[in-house]
Amino acid sequence: MKTFVLYIHLIATCIAVGSLLVKDLELLLARGRPLFPREKAGLVHVAQVIFLSLCVLWVSGLALVVLGVLENPQYLSNEKLWAKASVVCVLTLNGFLLHFYSFPRVVSDQGVIGLRAIEQALVISSGAISTSSWLFACFLGIARPLNFTVAYEQVMLGYCASVLLALIVSSHTLVMLRRGTTDIEIRAVPQV
């Protein structure tokens, strides 16, 4: 039973993270310009896929915790588990910010680059927090050697460092977008 639940958890993770990374790359290549209708529809579709994946992850994750406790009464004393739960909570709360604040601005007729500076910063920051949180949660999911060996604070310090790095990179990207330049020169295929 545990293997099946773990498999479902892994598949949902792969779907969510794969979809997220592909969409992040597409948004980077759009360079903040207003999105074409097909791009907007794609963003909405990916948001729905990630939301459904996150629901599956919550259910399967809680099931794994219950199965873990039944297998080993000390299961809940694993501080890495609590850190992963904290990261997933941040990821989930940030998802609400993305859904209700950032997405409407990204799909607006002015695009990200046409937003006020504070709106640009919030949109870019929520995206950076999302991506770094998803990737860090994935890391914790496979980091078995950290089970029962590291303190909650150490794991969360690593998480904060990864979020900070993502915020620095996203801030630099925003500055480049404002200047109208990027280090990545890839010709986008015209959308119909």
Average pLDDT over residues 43-58: 95
pLDDT of residue 178: 85
pLDDT of residue 179: 85
pLDDT of residue 191: 55
CA distances, 105 to each of 118, 129, 148, 165, 172 (Å)? 12, 17, 42, 24, 20
Q: Where are the domains of the chain?
A: 2-179
Across the chain, mean pLDDT equals 92
Task: Name the E strands within the chain.
Answer: none
Buried b (16+ CB within 10 A) or exposed e, 140-167: bbebeebeeebeeeebbebbeebbeebb
Q: At residue 185, does pLDDT exceed 60? A: no
Spatial separation of the C-alpha atoms in residues 53 and 44, rounded to whole Å:
14
Whole-prediction pTM value? 0.89
Out of 33-37, 64-68, 81-85, 182-186, least confident range: 182-186
3-state secondary structure of 35: coil
Residue 10: closest CA among 60, 85, 81, 46: 60
Spatial separation of the C-alpha atoms in residues 127 and 78, rounded to whole Å:
29
Digit-coded pLDDT (tens) for 2-45: 999 999 999 999 999 999 999 999 998 888 899 999 999 999 99
